[in-house]
Structure 1
Amino acid sequence: MSDPILLGLSGSLRKGATNRMLMREAARLFGPSTFVEADLHLPLYDGDDEDARGIPEAVQRLADQIARADAVIISTPEYNKGPSGVLKNALDWVSRTEGKPWMDKPVAVMSAAAGRAGGERAQMILRAFMVPFRTRILQGPEVHVADSSNQFDAHGRLVSEQYEKTLRILMQKLRAEAGF
């Protein structure tokens, strides 16, 4: 059996974002896999542009990556008590593609944020955003990394044993849900 394909989506575009670090830590703890980081640098969704030009190549590439993945991890920041516009825009665009790439896909969500709730509200809203896609979203354990700028070392590894333990359990469950 070959290694599973694990796709990671970070709701933050910053290279040094704590959600990007959390996504990469999740991939490390998932174990052997072909890990692919999605590129969410997409144009803003505009129905007129879609009518005139069709689905942008970058959006179709993302939809194809989702369809090919054995499992998906999504790490979202919390901006103004919700997920980032970058992440919502990507979900909106993918919903316009053919083939229902999210259907029945094992998905784990997580969040890292500056606040003491660690992005809990953003994650709750993200879970609601995923309902129409009919994924197999894991219900837990929930990973909400609070005070996120102080939770990673210089190599992007979690410093808290508790956060790492919880993330490891979530990744074990995702791996099992994906059949590996």
Structure 2
Amino acid sequence: MTDTSILVLVGSLRAGSTNRQLAEAAIGVAPEGVALTIFEGLSDLPFYNEDIDVEGSVPAAAAAYRAAVAAADAVLVVTPEHNGTIPAVLKNAIDWASRPYGASPISGKPVAAIGSAFGQFGGVWAHDETRKSFGIAGATVLEEIKLSVPGSMVRFAEIHPKDDAEVSAQLAAVVRDVVAAVSEASTVAAA
């Protein structure tokens, strides 16, 4: 039985992405009762346009994405950095999750942002911008949960992140902290 469901958004569409591998590794270190699921449809989302975001005729891909966000207890974003900021596919996903205004599926939902990049800072700018954008969109951003793995192309050239003991331990801590935030939010809501 799953007690906590975490939707994972991968900010890279590349099949061999190290961030996808990080997401897979996070799934592998999840404790019993916690289900992490990678959302596979980000590439299917049309660019956000209020003209097509009309009740009763929202594009199917956007409706499926919003339903997945709504059904999850939390969202874990695993993303690289593109030109010093958020990849376009991720920004588009944030925009779709932020609507409809006042009733969005991301409103109040715990969100953490982590990832890896080739550079020496591991994508920290993209992770910070992701937290900022999700916060403005209404999510409860888990600011204290951070993991930015530098040098991804070298570090993971011959090893999957799941086989890197240091990264696996860090991912286990990230998942544990997201679950704790969900549990804390549930306790506050019940009070």
TM-score, reference length from structure 2: 0.82
Q: What secondary structure sits across from 1:92 in the alignment?
A: helix
**Structure 1: 5+ residue runs without aligned partners?**
none
Do the aligned partners of 1:30 and 1:175 also contact (CA within 8 Å) in 2? Answer: no
CA distance in 2 between partners of 1:76 and 1:2 (Å) = 25
Aligned residue type for 1:4 = T
What is the aligned partner in structure 1 of residue 189 from structure 2? Answer: none
User: 1:153–1:65: structure 2 CA closer, same or farther, 3 Å change rule?
Assistant: same
What is the aligned partner in structure 1 of residue 68 from structure 2? Answer: 65
User: 1:133–1:46: structure 2 CA closer, same or farther, 3 Å change rule?
Assistant: closer
Do the aligned partners of 1:140 and 1:170 also contact (CA within 8 Å) in 2? Answer: no
Aligned residue type for 1:36 = T
Percent of residue pairs bearing the same amino acid type: 31
What is the aligned partner in structure 2 of residue 117 from structure 1? Answer: 121
RMSD across aligned C-alpha pairs, in angstroms? Answer: 2.5
Q: What secondary structure sits across from 2:15 in the alignment?
A: coil
After superposition, residues 14-163 of structure 1 pair within 5 angstroms as 14-32=14-32, 33-38=34-39, 39-41=41-43, 42-50=45-53, 54-97=57-100, 99-152=103-156, 156-163=160-167
What is the aligned partner in structure 2 of residue 3 from structure 1? Answer: 3
TM-score, reference length from structure 1: 0.87
Do the aligned partners of 1:55 and 1:97 also contact (CA within 8 Å) in 2? Answer: no
User: 1:120–1:88: structure 2 CA closer, same or farther, 3 Å change rule?
Assistant: same
**Structure 2: 5+ residue runs without aligned partners?**
185-191
Deviation above 6 Å: which 4+ runs of structure 1?
none
Do the aligned partners of 1:60 and 1:97 also contact (CA within 8 Å) in 2? Answer: no
User: 1:35–1:169: structure 2 CA closer, same or farther, 3 Å change rule?
Assistant: closer
